[in-house]
Chain A
Amino acid sequence: MSPLDIIRTSLYSLSSNRLRAALALLGIVLGVCSVITLMSIGRGSTDRITELIQGLGSNLLTVIPSGEPLTLADVDALNDPLYTPSIKAVAPQIGTFGTIHVSNNTTQTSITGVTPEFLQVRNLEMATGTFIGSPHVESRAEVVVLGSQVSEDLFGNQDPTNAEVRINGRQFRVVGVLASQTGFGSLDDQALIPITTAYYRLSGQRIPGGNISVDQISVQARDVESVDQAIEEIETVLRLSHRLTDADDFTVFNQQEILDTFEETNQTLVVFLGAVAGISLLVGGIGIMNIMLVSVTERTREIGIRQAMGAKRRDIVAQFVTEAVFLTFGGGIIGVIAGITLATAIDGRFLIGAEWNTRVTNDIPIIALIVSVAVGLFFGIYPAVRAARLNPIEALRYE
C-alpha cells in the first residue's frame, strides 16, 4: 500500500463519521490551546519581570555589611575617583520604620535615610518639589520626600509640598513627592529623609569613632561593561579601609546575577506550566484512543473486507495510526491558531485581578505540533494493532 493510498484510505474513514472525528479533535484542540496559552504566559511574565529588574539598572551594584558595619567613611572612600574610576555614583542608605502623622491621617511606612545621589543611582523621578539636597544632609535637616502612595494616603490628591508632617513625633517638612513607579523595589510606599537625620534623629544605634553606619550602599558603575571592574574596585577599597587580611566583612551583589537567578527560577515555572497543560493534551490523547477503539469495533466488517482483499497487518495498522495522527495533527493546528489568538488577546490586559503578559515565540507552536503528532502515534498504535490482529473470517462474519 503506497503512502498516498494510506492517506486516502484514512481520510475516507474519517469522513465516514464526521461528528465523531470532530469530537475527538476537540480534546486535542483544547490541550494544544492550553499548552500554547500557558507557555506564552510563562514566557511573557519572565519578560515582564526581567524588564522590571532591568529598570533598576543593570549597572547597579549593592554592597551590604556581613560583619563590621559599613560607614559613611566607606562611602567617601568609594567616591574617590583615583581608586574607583569605574564607579559613577555611590548612594548609602539607612532603613527604619516609622509612623507619619498629619492632622487626622496616620500611616505606617518604611523611612529610608538617603543622600542626594540616591535619586540618580535608583533612576528616580520627582512628581512635584525637589529631592533631598547636600545642605539637608549636612544640617541634618528635618525634611522628607514622600513616595506617591504615602502622599496619597496622607494628602489625597492635594500637593503636599511644604506641608508639615510628624514622623515618630518629630516635625518634618515635605519637600517633594516621587513619581510613581511600578515593579521591583518600588519606593511608592516609602518616605525618604536625609541620611544624617535618619541616623541621629530616628535610629537609636551608634557606633564608636563618631562614624555613621549605613545599612546598604548602592553603587552605580559607569556602564554595563565596567560592572566587573567596579566590583573589583569596591572590594579593593573596602578591604583597604577595613584593613582586612582574610575573609571579607561585606558582600557585593550584582543586579545581573539577581536577574540570572530569577530567570532560572522562572524557567522552571514555564516548564511547570507547560507540563500542566501537557496533561490536558494527554487527556485529549486518551480521548483519541477511546474513539479509535470504538471505531475499530464498529468497523470490524470493513477490516475483514480489507483483509480479504489482501490488506496486510501493516496496511491496517498504517490506516488506523494515520487516522489518529490526522486527528491529532488537525486538532494541533486548530489548537495552535486558537492558542496564539487567545495569548495575543489577553496580552497586556487586566483580567481576573491580574495583568497578563504573554509572548508567543516560534518554538512554542512547533513543539505543540510535534507533541500532538506524537500523541496521535502513541495513542493510535494500540487500537490499530487491535484492528490488524482481527481474524479475517470472524471480522467478515461480524454484524
Chain B
Amino acid sequence: MSTTSTKDAPVIQIRDVTKIYEMGDGTIQVRALDGVSLDISDGEYVAIMGASGSGKSTLMNIIGCLDVPTEGTYHIDGQAVESMSNDRLADIRSRKVGFVFQTHNLLPRLTALANVELPMMYGRWPNRRTRAEHALELVNLADRMDHRPTELSGGQQQRVGIARALVKEPSVLLADEPTGNLDTSNTTEILNIISDLNHQNGITVIVVTHERDVAARADRVITLSDGHIISDETRPQATAA
C-alpha cells in the first residue's frame, strides 16, 4: 500500500471534517462527524462500519457531494468541494460520483431504462440510451429494461440502482447499506457486481455496512463511533492482490 500511495494522489482527501446538525432553532446541536480526516486512493475498496447513528451516512453524503461539511476541507480529484457553488456540486454528482442507496430511490413511474438515463440527462451526455442499455446488461437486467420499479423484485430494483450509479463511469461508487433490505442470495449477487466493478473496472468503491461478511469483501475497513474514526485497517492480502 505504501508503495503505491506516493504515486497516486488520493481521489478523496478529507481533513478535520466536522458536521453539525442544528435542530429546534439551533438549541440542539448534533455532532454527526467530529474532526474526521481520511484519504482514499484511486481503485480502493473501502468498507465503513459502525453502530447506528455513528455518522456513516453523514460521511457518505459529504463524500457524495450531497451535503457540505460544517468545518474542515474535502477534496475530490483535487478539487475543493467546500468552496463549490450549488451548480458545481450538482455537476460532481452527475459525473464523478455514483450513489447507491439502501432504499433504491428509483422514480416509480419511469422504466428501469429511463431511471438509468436520469443522471446522463442532467449531465447532458450523448448516446444515453445505448449506455443505459449497456449498464443494465452489466447488472444482468437486459430483459427487464422496460419494467417499472414496482414490477421488479427488491434485488432487481437495487441492481437498477447500481446500473444508474455506474452508467456515468464514476471515479467513486458510493453505496450506503446497499444490501440492508436484501436476502442472502440477492446480497451475494449485489456484492459480486460491486466487487467486479472494483476489480475489473478499477472504480473506487466505498460501502457502508454493519454486516461483517459485507465488509469482508473490502480491502480496507474504517470504523466510526460517535462521529470519530476509531479504527482504519487495511488487510494485508488485499495489497498483494
Which residue numbers of A lie inside 8 Å of B, CB to CB?
1-2, 5, 9, 12, 15-16, 301-302, 304-315, 391-393, 396
Q: In the complex the two chains form, is B61's CB within 8 Å of A393's CB? A: yes
The CA of A310 and the CA of B66, in the complex, are separated in Å by: 9
Contact sample, A vs B, 24 pairs, CB 8 Å cutoff: A1-B121, A1-B122, A1-B124, A2-B121, A5-B121, A15-B109, A301-B105, A305-B118, A306-B122, A307-B66, A307-B93, A308-B64, A308-B93, A309-B118, A309-B119, A310-B91, A312-B86, A312-B90, A313-B86, A313-B87, A313-B90, A315-B90, A393-B67, A396-B66
Question: Smallest Cβ distance from A87 to chain B, in angstroms?
Answer: 79
Given contacts A310-B123, A396-B101, list 10 more A-B pairs with CB under 8 A.
A12-B110, A16-B109, A305-B106, A308-B64, A310-B90, A310-B95, A311-B90, A311-B94, A313-B86, A392-B67
The CA of A310 and the CA of B122, in the complex, are separated in Å by: 6
| Chain B residue at smallest Cβ distance from A305 | B105
Is B30 on the interface with A (CB-CB < 8 A)? no
Chain B contacts for A312, CB-based, 8 A: 86-87, 90-91, 122
The reply on B164 being an interface residue by CB < 8 A is yes
With A310-B95, A311-B90 in contact, do A393 and B109 touch (Cβ < 8 Å)? Answer: no
Q: Chain B, 154-182, contact with A by CB distance < 8 Å: what is the 0/1 string?
A: 00000000001000000000000000000
Interface string of B106-121 (1 = CB under 8 A from A): 1101100000001101
B121 to A, closest residue via Cβ = A5
The smallest beta-carbon distance between B78 and chain A, in angstroms, is 20
CA gap between A396 and B57 in the complex, in Å: 12
Residues of B within 8 A of A308 (CB): 64, 66, 93, 99, 105
Secondary structure dominating the interface of A: helix
Name the B residues within 8 Å of A313 (CB-CB): 86-87, 90
Q: Is the CB of A2 within 8 A of B87?
A: no
**Nearest CB in chain A: distance from B89 CB, A:** 9
- Which 3 residue pairs across A and B have the least CB separation, nearest first? A310-B94, A310-B122, A312-B90
Is B93 a contact partner of A309 (Cβ separation < 8 A)?
yes
Contact residues, B65-104 vs A (CB, 8 A): 66-67, 86-87, 90-91, 93-95, 99, 101
- For A5, the closest partner residue in chain B by CB is B121
Among residues of B, the one whose C-beta sits closest to the C-beta of A299 is B107
Q: Are A393 and B66 in contact (CB under 8 A)?
A: yes
CB distance from A322 to the nearest CB of B (A): 14
Closest chain A CB from B5 CB (angstroms): 30
Q: A310 and B109 in contact (CB under 8 A), knowing A392-B66, A393-B61, A393-B66?
A: no
Contacts of A392 in B (CB 8 A): 66-67
CA distance A392 to B93 in the complex (A): 11
Closest to A392 in B: B66
**In the complex, A230→B67 CA distance in Å?**
86
A310 touching B110, Cβ below 8 Å: no
Task: Select from chain A the residue with minimum beta-carbon distance to B61.
Answer: A393
B86 contact set on A, CB distance < 8 A: 312-313
Q: From the candidates B67, B101, B118, name the one contacting A306 in the complex (CB within 8 A).
A: B118
Task: Give Cα A310–Cα B110 distance, bound, in whole angstroms.
Answer: 17
**Residues in B whose Cβ lies below 8 Å from that of A12:** 109-110
A396 CB contact (under 8 Å) in B105, B109, B119, B121: B105
Q: Do B105 and A310 touch across chains, with their CB atoms under 8 A apart?
A: no
| Chain A residues positioned under 8 Å from B124 (CB to CB) | 1-2
CA distance A384 to B113 in the complex (A): 27
Select the residue from A5, A308, A309 with max chain B CB neighbours within 10 A.
A309
Given contacts A308-B93, A310-B91, A310-B95, whether A315 and B105 have CB atoms under 8 Å apart is no
Interchain CA distance A279-B74 in the complex, whole Å: 53
